[in-house]
Chain A
């Protein structure tokens, strides 16, 4: 049963031909943008080349990297907090019916509260602080992690746990080599979706109540109607996300699920 559940998770690694198609459509999009920008010739739509030049300038003067770094640290911290708490609660709720019954109502509320509401409430209650910012992001993410991990825990193979019991494995070994590997596909899925959500929420949090980070900068550019600045920061941010996806998430997933090939 566990086997089935694991295989039914969507396969995320793209094939080679699909990669080509992806690159082609991106190229088309950039060309389209360039043509529109040329024909409009307006400050409201800088061309891709202007954005690239702007990006280089911002990198040189160091400001972009500072803000980007601060944002990434916020992403990382809230991601780790959300994963830790989400996995723990997900495992408890997946294993114990009373935990599940006790927390399910709150979970449903958590899944449906708009991110903006949690952010505003956190800032009002805890002040415009770093802690409030990180907590707000984590709270938005935790319910999704719980749901994914709970599903994984429910699909655990009882038969393999019996093997651990008969052969008298220690609790630690059972957890690490029998229990956890069954959860890997779910953890990977939770982590991927988690990052995608957290990026976005962190920017809003920064916009509303921080005086540094990419979100704060975007807010400033908005007030100054600095479209070029907005696009430069967006581009930088997107590049970083793609790199993390390609260099951290995908290799991690490939390693953790290598036995399935």
Chain B
């Protein structure tokens, strides 16, 4: 498998006529963790929905080894973790996993709940859990299907810092076991630096890729690591408006970034 290829020429919302994404080119190699960072409203979620097949109204193609992702279905499974946990409130934690796994896979569901440390609450309903626990269930659900591609749309937003850090740890543990391709959308640069192999920066809407940068830091990392701090500072020093989707002129290229990262 050569990985995922995203080519989006144009994504325009029909009802408003606004162009959200323009000339996006993005490749993800097998086992790669790619973070997508950009200003809010840049169309990051839209991009994920397109990759997930939830939004098919765009010009371009999303393929795996030249096979269109949502026509020939070259990938066995896609996992998606949304901004909200999106669990079925009328199903218990265990049943939420079994819904996507299939009834006969109870052992596997339990094993995943063990890995996110939720064994004792498998018969609770999501409404009885804290926000952080709900995300853990959602995380377990996303990994339970053994995805080849995992899409994550600001999954740890609106959690307090320690809970988010804990969840990032769980995510890395689960990810390092099976190493699916990951597209992780966030507007929190430190989070991207702490997790990803590569960060893709998007501009304001209509979004295009302004910078594609590898992160060559040792794992495990945390958002407060010295290395992460340094890289974060360097990045923003060289490019104060990066998070607004602006890159200073042409001096930015992969080579200079690799330098900054190492």
- Within 8 Å by CB of A160, from B49, B86, B145, lies B86
Contacts of A42 in B (CB 8 A): none
Q: Is B127 an interface position by the 8 A CB rule?
A: yes
Question: Cα distance A162–B51 when bound, in Å?
Answer: 13
Question: Cα distance A258–B77 when bound, in Å?
Answer: 32
Q: Are A165 and B53 touching (Cβ within 8 A)?
A: yes
Query: Would you give the 0/1 interface string for A40-71, flagging 1 where the beta carbon is closer than 8 Å to chain B?
Result: 00000000000000000000000000000000
Q: Are B88 and A177 touching (Cβ within 8 A)?
A: yes
Please name the residue on chain A nearest to B95 by beta carbon.
A177
Q: Are A259 and B53 touching (Cβ within 8 A)?
A: no
- Within 8 Å by CB of B88, from A160, A162, A184, A260, lies A160
Q: Are B78 and A173 touching (Cβ within 8 A)?
A: no
Q: Is A167 an interface position by the 8 A CB rule?
A: yes
Q: Are A166 and B89 touching (Cβ within 8 A)?
A: no
Question: Cα distance A178–B141 when bound, in Å?
Answer: 15
Contacts of A258 in B (CB 8 A): 125
Q: Is A181 an interface position by the 8 A CB rule?
A: yes
Please name the residue on chain B nearest to A184 by beta carbon.
B90
Q: Is B161 an interface position by the 8 A CB rule?
A: no
Q: Is B255 an interface position by the 8 A CB rule?
A: no
Question: Cα distance A163–B141 when bound, in Å?
Answer: 11
- Within 8 Å by CB of A166, from B52, B90, B127, lies B52
Q: Are B77 and A177 touching (Cβ within 8 A)?
A: no
- Within 8 Å by CB of A168, from B54, B77, B86, B91, lies B77
Q: Is A97 an interface position by the 8 A CB rule?
A: no
Q: Are A165 and B54 touching (Cβ within 8 A)?
A: yes
Interface residues on A, range: 10 to 19
Question: Cα distance A165–B49 when bound, in Å?
Answer: 11
Q: Are A181 and B88 touching (Cβ within 8 A)?
A: yes
User: In whole Å, how far is A186's beta carbon from the nearest beta carbon of chain B?
Assistant: 14
Q: Are B91 and A177 touching (Cβ within 8 A)?
A: yes
Contacts of B79 in A (CB 8 A): 166-167
Q: Are A259 and B77 touching (Cβ within 8 A)?
A: no
Q: Are B89 and A177 touching (Cβ within 8 A)?
A: no
User: In whole Å, how far is B249's beta carbon from the nearest beta carbon of chain A?
Assistant: 40
Q: Is B80 an interface position by the 8 A CB rule?
A: yes
User: In whole Å, how far is A249's beta carbon from the nearest beta carbon of chain B?
Assistant: 19
Question: Cα distance A169–B88 when bound, in Å?
Answer: 13
Contacts of B53 in A (CB 8 A): 165-166
Question: Cα distance A116–B125 when bound, in Å?
Answer: 47
Question: Cα distance A169–B98 when bound, in Å?
Answer: 11
Q: Is A16 an interface position by the 8 A CB rule?
A: no
Q: Is A4 an interface position by the 8 A CB rule?
A: no
Question: Cα distance A165–B78 when bound, in Å?
Answer: 10
Given A173-B99, A177-B99, A260-B127, A167:B88 Cβ within 8 A: no
Q: Is B156 an interface position by the 8 A CB rule?
A: no
Interface residues of B in 120-145 (CB under 8 A from A): 125, 127, 141, 145
Contacts of B77 in A (CB 8 A): 168
Q: Are A259 and B127 touching (Cβ within 8 A)?
A: yes
Contacts of B127 in A (CB 8 A): 259-260
- Within 8 Å by CB of A181, from B82, B84, B90, lies B90
User: In whole Å, how far is A157's beta carbon from the nearest beta carbon of chain B?
Assistant: 9
Q: Is B100 an interface position by the 8 A CB rule?
A: yes
Q: Are B82 and A167 touching (Cβ within 8 A)?
A: no
User: In whole Å, how far is A183's beta carbon from the nearest beta carbon of chain B?
Assistant: 11
- Within 8 Å by CB of A162, from B54, B89, B125, B145, lies B54
Please name the residue on chain B nearest to A257 by beta carbon.
B90
Given A165-B53, A166-B52, A259:B86 Cβ within 8 A: no
- Chain A interface (Cβ within 8 Å of chain B)? 3, 159-160, 162-163, 165-169, 173, 177-178, 181, 184, 258-260
